[in-house]
Amino acid sequence: MSLINRIEAALEQHFSLAAAASAPPRLIQAMRHAVFPGGARIRPQLCLAVAKACGEDDPELTDAAAAAIELLHCASLVHDDMPCFDDADVRRGQVTVHKQFGEPLALLTGDALIVMAYQMLARSGRQHPMRTVQLLSVISDGVGAPNGIVAGQAWECESRVELSQYQRAKTGALFVAATCAGALAAGVDPEPWHTLGDTLGEAYQVADDIRDVMMQADQLGKPAGQDAHHGRPSAAADLGLVGALDYFNRLMQTAADSVPMCESREAMRKLVLSESERLVPPSACEIIARQVKAPVSVRVSA
Amino acid sequence: MSLINRIEAALEQHFSLAAAASAPPRLIQAMRHAVFPGGARIRPQLCLAVAKACGEDDPELTDAAAAAIELLHCASLVHDDMPCFDDADVRRGQVTVHKQFGEPLALLTGDALIVMAYQMLARSGRQHPMRTVQLLSVISDGVGAPNGIVAGQAWECESRVELSQYQRAKTGALFVAATCAGALAAGVDPEPWHTLGDTLGEAYQVADDIRDVMMQADQLGKPAGQDAHHGRPSAAADLGLVGALDYFNRLMQTAADSVPMCESREAMRKLVLSESERLVPPSACEIIARQVKAPVSVRVSA
């Protein structure tokens, strides 16, 4: 089964358990709306890929960890889209949860998805309870205070923020959780996988900033120009498009180089390369390059 | 150390870890505002009391489970108070989080407190990882879909709801989590403690409905008359004050009778009795009784 099919199957299985007859039907509908159809599912795929590279021996636990990370990501999107933050109408090409189901249910949907992530871990954790407790720690630290994605979002409510700290928390932390959780689920020390998650996460956020400036809403599946509109810290605003692309390429090179020695090191490096091209397509690089009448940066080589 | 002092100490300890230098300062302030000073801390006290009755042998794990339950409760209050739900100005006698820190931080504060609950479990769970995985399950089920407090709140967004199902989810579920978590943290089968949590939780919600009708805001520490104002299901509206008090007293009797055989069974029954008088003070019973010119119900006897 492909990585993405494993993730969808794990999510579907756990939704069937959450959707008991006693559940409020509209809450379950809203939760499904937030999770299906998914985006690129990049974080859970990364988690599964690392677990495989580490000699995965408990696929149920890996699936639960990966799907939990995706649920936490989806929860953050639902809350980020709400009127008190982005007030977004569209996400992943469909109407946002609060637009479809109202603000109260959107708030509860985010909460229920956070908790569902932990319910998944609990259900699949009995074969390796110590790994599960470690996963609980690593995944929670990717989301909560002091350095997780919720803290990253909270930096938007502070008067002073340092761009790299903000991006590391807002995006990087859950990528770190993804790579480290992959290793942990396989019973392996997560530390060597920390840099890959950290660097990919920051690169992903920089790419998001670049796309937010360059692309149209119909290409993004969500409104464009939101960073400037909300006055948010942005690599594109801070460094300019050329500087941001250069920074992105250096981050992807660091990410590729950081893959620890393991049987499938080359496959992991190739995954990083293909992500690089997916995140900032060659066409976007060309447009940016034309702005300075010369190539601005060398792409990552696998 | 008294039960409540243990809870405050555990909460303070985990806040000192969350408030690392890298955390957004206003998020931490808002999280503290939501948790300190506390209310009656009834759920975590119940958890600790059950653990002691079950021969507690890992107090750090019990403290973490109890404090996690309190954090989840505080998170639900922060989100419930927001404009899209109760739009409340006051909670526990102080300004609500969104009034003090704004809606975006209130939303994030609830999210961060939910995750912090799990961070606490993770930090204290390594001595007994299997118990911790079971705690993860029981506590999460008290909060999430299909039957936890988030689902209870979501029933307010449905066109049809059965009062007892609504109250069981909205309040009872976290009380069940509290009693069962107390047993689990002590390494004991939680099943015999289920009814105590379930019944106390329903009684607590009925008492809340009664107080919402009878008391003034300054006595409640939050706005009064909110159930009628928001058209929420309420035992007082459904059964009348007399009927609601009678139902409350029967629930407390069931709760007291349900305490399983254990060394401190009498102490647990007395705790239930004292809760009964705290929840609906004798003065309130007298006022209700005068409405029918006769005592409406017999109080629970220990």
| Least CB–CB distance from B103: residue in A75, A76, A84 | A84
CB atoms within 10 A of CB A116: 28
Size of interface A-B (CB pairs under 8 A): 207
Neighbouring CB atoms inside 10 A of A265's CB total 12
Give ∠ CA B176-B177-B183 in degrees, rounded to 5.
95
Give residue B295's pLDDT.
Answer: 46
Q: Which of B79, B10, B22, B66 is nearest to B182 (CA)?
A: B66
Q: Is the pLDDT of residue B298 over 70?
A: no
* Candidates A133, A155, A164, A180, partner chain B, best to mutate (most B CBs within 10 A): A133
Decide: B35 and B71 in contact? Cβ < 8 Å.
Answer: yes
Mutate to test the interface with B, among A11, A86, A140, A158 (most CBs of B within 10 A): A140
CB B281 within 8 A of CB B287: no
Question: Do the Cβ atoms of B115 and A27 come within 8 Å?
Answer: no
Residue in chain B nearest A113 by alpha carbon: B144
Q: Which residues of A touch B130 (CB under 8 A)?
A: 126, 129
> What pLDDT does B287 receive?
83
The stretch A230-255 carries a mean pLDDT of: 86
Report the gap between the CA of B213 and the closest CA in chain A (Å): 24
Best mutation site among A150, A158, A160, A184 for testing chain B: the one with the most B CBs within 10 Å?
Answer: A150
pLDDT at B133: 98
A75–B84 C-beta distance less than 8 A: no
| pLDDT attached to residue A230 | 75
Q: Look at B126 and A130 and tell me if their CB atoms are within 8 Å.
A: yes
Reading the block at residue A281, the tokens are 């397509």
Each domain of chain A, given as residue ranges in start order, spans 3-291
A91: part of which helix (H) or strand (E)? strand A90-91
Does the pLDDT value for residue A216 go beyond 80?
no
> What does the pLDDT look like over B41-59, one tens digit per residue?
999 999 999 999 999 999 9
CA atoms within 13 A on the CB side of A84: 22
What is the predicted pLDDT for the residue at A293? 58
User: Among partner residues B133, B140, B153, which is closest to A108 by beta-carbon distance?
Assistant: B153
Q: Which residues contact B265 (CB under 8 A, 6 or more apart)?
A: B53, B259
A178 contact partners, CB below 8 Å, separation of at least 6: A43, A44, A46, A47, A50, A66, A69, A142, A197
Q: Report CB contact under 8 Å: B136, A121.
A: yes
Q: Which residues of chain A are within 8 Å of residue B161 when distances are taken between CB atoms? A: 24
**Inter-chain residue contact B122 with A132, CB threshold 8 Å:** no
For chain A, what is the mean pLDDT?
Answer: 90
Residues 6 or more apart from A56 whose CB is under 8 A from it? A62, A185, A186
Q: How far is B265 from chain A (nearest CA, A)?
A: 31
Please determine, for the modelled complex, whether the ipTM score is greater than 0.85. yes
What is the share, in percent, of chain A residues with pLDDT greater than 70? Answer: 94
- pLDDT, tens digit, 9 for 90 and up, residues A261-298: 887 888 888 888 888 888 888 888 888 888 765 444 44
Q: Please give the pLDDT value at position B64.
A: 98
Residue A186 pLDDT grade (very low, low, confident, very high; cuts 50, 70, 90): very high
Structure tokens at A237: 């605003």
Nearest to B110 by CA among A19, A250, A154: A154
Interval A91-105 mean pLDDT: 96
DSSP assignment of B177-220, as one string? HHHHHHHHHTTS-SGGGHHHHHHHHHHHHHHHHHHHHHS-HHHH
Residues B130-145: tens digit of each pLDDT: 999 999 999 999 999 9
A242-246, B59-63, B178-182: which range is least confident on average?
A242-246
**If you write DSSP's letter for every residue of A190-207 in order, what string do you get?**
SGGGHHHHHHHHHHHHHH
* Distance of alpha carbon B213 from alpha carbon B191, whole angstroms: 35
Interface touch B147/A20, C-beta < 8 Å: yes
Using alpha carbons, select from B222, B251, B230, B229 the residue that is nearest to residue B239: B251
* Burial of A21 from C-beta contacts in 10 A (0-12 / 13-18 / 19+): exposed
Please report where in the chains the tokens 């149209």 appear, as a residue: A216
**A22 Cβ contact list (under 8 Å, min separation 6):** B146, B147, B165, B169
User: How far apart are the CA of B264 and the nearest CA of chain A, in angstroms?
Assistant: 31
The span from the CA of B127 to the CA of B61, in Å, is 8
| Count of Cβ atoms closer than 10 Å to residue B277 Cβ | 13
How large is the angle between the packed helices A3-18 and A59-80, nearest 10 degrees?
70
- Report the pLDDT value the prediction gives residue A295, as an integer from 0 to 100: 46
How large is the average pLDDT for residues B272-294? Answer: 80
- DSSP letter (8 states) at residue A170: I
Question: Taking CB atoms and an 8 Å limit, are A27 and B132 in contact across chains?
Answer: no
DSSP characters over B12-53: HHHHHHHS-TTS-HHHHHHHHHHHSS-S--HHHHHHHHHHHH
Closest C-alpha among B13, B12, B17, B74 to residue B41: B74
Interface contact flag, A129 B126, Cβ < 8 Å: no
Instruction: Determine, for residues A132 and B137 on separate chains, whether the beta-carbon distance falls below 8 Å.
Output: no
Point out the residue among A19, A107, A125 whose CB comes nearest to the CB of B133: A125
- Chain B nearest-CA distance from A260, in A, is 27
Q: How far apart are CA A60 and CA A62, in angstroms?
A: 5
Are A114 and B111 contacting, i.e. CB atoms less than 8 angstroms apart?
Answer: yes
* pLDDT (tens digit per residue) in A50-91: 999 999 999 999 999 999 999 999 999 999 999 999 999 999
Tell me which CATH homologous superfamily contains domain A3-291: Farnesyl Diphosphate Synthase (1.10.600.10)
SS (H, E, C) B216-269: CHHHHCCCCCHHHHCCCCCHHHHHHHHHHHHHHHHHHHHHHHHCCCCCCHHHHH
Best of A114, A147, A198 to substitute, by most chain B Cβ atoms within 10 angstroms, is A114
Judged by average pLDDT, the poorest of A93-102, B110-119, B140-149, B218-227 is B218-227
Average pLDDT, chain B: 90
Contacts with A123 from chain B: Cβ below 8 Å: 137
CB contacts of A161 in chain B (<8 Å) are 24
More confident residue, A239 or A297: A239
